Chain A
Amino acid sequence: MTLDQIKPGTECLIKKLTVREKLGQRLLDMGVYPGLKLKVLRNAPLEDPMEVEVDGYFVSLRHEEARFVEVQLP
């Protein structure tokens, strides 16, 4: 399952990042890395982007970027 498919209000576990280089490094630098719990908080009024909470920290990202984050529902 990938992060873009997670409905708001759901918690999940980050399994893997399937992208490297610029986007992959950026995800890491913003605190999205495997092993962490992540909660999808909401989608923007026009559905995209989405806001997530990771480690007490709030980040928004586009769905096309969230596609590269593999997650697992608990």
Chain B
Amino acid sequence: MTTPQTTFDGRAWSPCLACLAGALGLLAVVVASFVYLSVSWGDLVSMESMRLMGRFIAEFFPPDLSASFLARTAEASLQTLAVSSIGTLLAALVAMPLALPASGRFGRLSRAASRLLLNVLRSVPELVWATLMVLAAGLGPMAGTLALAVHTAGVLGRLFGETLENLPPTAERALREAGAGPVAAFGYANLPLAAPQWLGYALYRWEMNIRMAAVLGFVGAGGLGQMLYFHLSLFQQAQAMTVLLAMFVLVVGVDAASGWLRQRLTPARG
């Protein structure tokens, strides 16, 4: 008779030791993390703290919808919208010239140098840039704009450069061989191919930045974040709830606008 105990490749069933060790290691790391933080989780889920938490949440409702407060919220929303838009625009303007060396057009040395610069810009988060910019530019929305611009320039520069690297080289070569100068060849061959993708990346970053711009106010960079921080500090939860709702509306609105622009301005791809 046959031996049904062995599987197709002839191996008898045996526990995967590496998987077991990996799972145990993961469990150990997670447990160690919880222990290291020494948060008294028991107190957190006790009846008393649950009751307090419930009361805290209940204080957020109903949101403050008085006309004067709505007007102030609308003003802050416009400021946040402006910070995210101008920040993204500035970032795109800075990223374009940085993308040229980053795509390796001017030799290996300038490629490495520009990539290092872009990496440094990118790896410091927006909120950290914002604390630095508040020192340089003072409290207010300009600090937030600059912080967004600096971080986003790092991200967009890398993406723009990669776009340039991935373009088909044939169009530019054809123009160059027909006698066009390097600037004309780039402008008429590469730029039209790269522009829709660049625009798409910029719009995508705008969607991310509207979320960030709403948060940057926590360190004093104006807009909705500053309002939220202010009202939560004074334990005015009803007002905070209005600001949270405004953030939500703004994010959804920008997502819709960006999607519409992307459809209108960038050609459909197959």
A and B from one complex? no
Residues of A with Cβ closer than 8 Å to B? none
Residues of B with Cβ closer than 8 Å to A? none
